[in-house]
Structure 1
């Protein structure tokens, strides 16, 4: 709940002249008592509305106080965040401090990985060379097969030619 200062009833100003309104109502045909009751009701309604407005109003001093409270709250949050960051940084630094054995172990692991990569590279190169040699041998084999078939065909034709030659001679 916020505290709101009300202007005392005596200091509040109505936005219309009640006496003039009573006279206007009498001039319109209302009796004096009826006109006064109507004006009293209007004053009561207007006063109630003004009370509602005054209750809902926030003064400059209230705004300044609320702003100061918000700024104080934000400062407290900032301080908490700085403390939290410092503690997290300290934890990270503690986690990153390794013993000498752990450092040596990491170095050995790094060297092992490098040597393993060299072995893998050498194996890959040897595999490529073997694949190239196998391909060239397959090409040579196909070439030799073709030459063998050619010589065989030539031999068969030569045999046929000689057989035809002998056949002709005997006939």
Structure 2
């Protein structure tokens, strides 16, 4: 009986052991919740960091694409600017040639006008001399 009695536990001891086990289980549950929350917080912060890094990479990628487009537009603009400048030089040369041609034409017309005036004056003098001889 002593042996059996030693192995047996009273209801009060059993209740105390049950309460201790329940308290221990509650502490373990609390620790689990805290671990889950901290783990979740860590995952959330890592996720936020990754999102930030991804946005930075996307911004850099967009910036690189914009730089590439800008370089293409700049090259096209420089090409068109060079074309316009060459056309302006050609137009300027044509204008210079036409101005020189007009100056030459003006000079030849001046010379013809001087010849015509000289011929008119000599003709008038010849007529005057003819009348002068005729009246004398």
Range of TM-score over shorter length = 0.5 to 0.7
Query: Structure 1: any 5+ residue segments left out of the alignment?
Result: 1-97
The alignment yields a C-alpha RMSD, in angstroms, of: 1.0
- Shift in Å, 1:130: 0.5
TM-score, normalisation: structure 2: 0.53
94, 98, 102: which one aligns with 2:67: 102
Distance 1:145 1:134 in 2: 16
Q: Tell me the equivalent position of 1:158.
A: 123
107, 125, 132: which one aligns with 1:167: 132
- Shift in Å, 1:101: 1.1
Instruction: Confirm or deny that 1:127 pairs with 2:127.
Output: no
- Shift in Å, 1:148: 0.8
TM-score, normalisation: structure 1: 0.42
User: Whose RCO is larger (CA < 8 A, sep 6+)?
Assistant: 1
Report the structure, 1 or 2, having the larger helix content. Answer: 2
1:5-24 alignment to 2 at 5 Å? none
Distance 1:155 1:136 in 2: 28
Distance 2:132 2:69 in 1: 93
Distance 1:151 1:101 in 2: 73
Query: Structure 2: any 5+ residue segments left out of the alignment?
Result: 1-62
Q: Tell me the equivalent position of 1:113.
A: 78
